[in-house]
Homo-oligomer: A and B are copies of this chain.
Amino acid sequence: MSTAEADLIDRLRATLGPQAVLSGADLPARNQQDWSTLGPVRPLAVVRPADPQGVATALGAAVAAGIAVVPQGGLTGLAGGARPIEGAIALSLERLTGIEEIDPAAATMTVRAGTTLEAVQRAAEDAGFFFALDLGARGSCTIGGNLSTNAGGNRVLRYGMARDMVLGLEAALPDGTLVTSLNKMLKNNAGYDLKQLFVGSEGTLGIITRAVLRLHPAPACTMAALCGLASYDAVLAFLAAARRGLGPILSAFEVMWPDYWQVATERVAGVRSPIGRGHAFYVLVEAQGSDSADAGRFDAWLESEAEAGLIEDAAVAQSLADVKAFWGVRDAAAELKLVLGPHASFDIGLPVAGMDAYARACREALAAELPGCLGLFYGHIADGNMHIVACVPGADPQPYAPIDAVVYRLVRQHGGTISAEHGIGLKKKPYLPYTRTPEELALMRVVKQAIDPKGLLNPGKVL
């Protein structure tokens, strides 16, 4: 450890308290890696401020000392955005937790960045509201991480992404400033909308410390069905029918290709198939109603689509437990590691109409170029977002780089994006030019350089 590094750690301990700074033998294993397939790294120290000003102070002090900082939330990122860097401070938001206020009149919640998504969802529910962001890692991921990656998840179709659920934000800048913009109003056009800089920039422009979240009315009822369909054309027609017939109560439309379906329902523990096998596509369609009449409407709509021959088979949830079980098939994606072992996972975006053509091309190319390579396809089709899990069963190590090359080459050919929702982090950085033009990349660098001129905040991530 250099003198500058030791000095910084001493000063942070003195300012933030000894329990806020962990180094040497005390460095927790947890903070040395995230959920990406990249291995662990020992940071210089883990710094865990307990209030927003502490985050700004720590960041400003590190940057002034020429030492890099990597922000860390729930460490559930799959792109490596929170992966520590040797010689850098890992600035963890894990002690900056708690809900500061729920304002029923404004339908907002003010929350600290380290609070888990699940805690936010529960607090909203307890107050008679609904917080619409939802994703598999809800129990571990934090709202600060959700916002800094602009998380998507299951109900983007109806409620938008994390960006659409935030009204106000507070962030610490590399110069140690704390910018507090805890706006609670739906509309505020007084100057630049600064929160947009920090949402989705993966902690490279500032560290989010608090947020004002937008709450929605709690749904009065939730309806769901799992359907088997015969072709991708039928899936597209069913999506159009759902938009038309369910209108704004449609809250999710998840599609699973049969290879995914088979692994999820036959190999993942605790997951059962509510309909028979043998379909070309499986669709989980969900609607959230504002009164009980909507339940009848959902049933009538589904029946008419079945009569019209659009779906081959369907199971309709009879209870919230059924809704949960149906989601279990989709959420089994998080358990694939247990049955497949290490694998690559993707969150590409594509024009909706061309998603099956992509899946077929990708499955074929993976098998041709990497013998034995499996590709499982599923995703938030209505949003143009496809997930892929790919691996060569039994291979150790997995051929991650060649798999990436196949998947992203085809994304470029099919006019898609290399990241619909997980972000770029470290892992997708080499492929960013597949989705962004040189002019776009240059403008991103201009913004980065202006706000972090020394390049010490989450360096090497995204750009």
Interface residues of A (CB under 8 A from B): 105-106, 149-150, 152, 156, 158, 160-161, 163-164, 173, 177-181, 183-194, 196-197, 199-201, 205, 217, 220, 236, 243-249, 289-291, 293-294, 297, 347, 349-353, 380, 383-385, 416-424, 428, 432, 435-437, 439-444, 446-447, 449-451, 462-463
Contacts and interface: CB of A to CB of B under 8 A. Distances in A.
B188 A419 contact: yes
Copies of this chain present in the complex amount to 2
- Counting chain B CB atoms within 10 Å of each CB, which of A156, A190, A193, A417 scores highest? A190
Given A164-B160, A185-B416, A189-B419, A443 B244 contact: no
Nearest to A444: B192
A173 B297 contact: no
B186 A384 contact: yes
A290 B245 contact: yes
30 contacts: A106-B352, A106-B353, A106-B384, A150-B193, A158-B248, A177-B442, A179-B439, A179-B443, A180-B437, A185-B416, A185-B420, A186-B385, A187-B384, A187-B421, A188-B349, A189-B200, A190-B418, A190-B419, A190-B432, A191-B436, A191-B441, A191-B462, A192-B197, A192-B205, A194-B444, A245-B290, A247-B294, A248-B248, A446-B451, A447-B450
A136 to B, nearest CB: 16
Contacts of A179: 437, 439-440, 443
Contacts of A186: 156, 383-385
A199 B163 CA distance: 14
A239 to B, nearest CB: 10
Nearest to A189: B419
Contacts of A421: 187, 189
B191 A463 contact: yes
A188 B417 contact: yes
Given A185-B349, A416-B185, A190 B436 contact: yes
A239 B272 CA distance: 43
Contact of A156 (B187, B200, B449, B451): B187
Contacts of A161: 187
Contacts of A352: 105-106
Contacts of A149: 189
A439 B180 contact: yes
A-B pairs with lowest CB-CB distance, top 9: A247-B290, A450-B450, A196-B196, A248-B248, A187-B420, A105-B353, A190-B435, A188-B417, A185-B384
A195 B211 CA distance: 22
A247 B291 contact: yes
A432 B446 CA distance: 26
A349 to B, nearest CB: 5
B447 A181 contact: no
A105 B196 contact: no
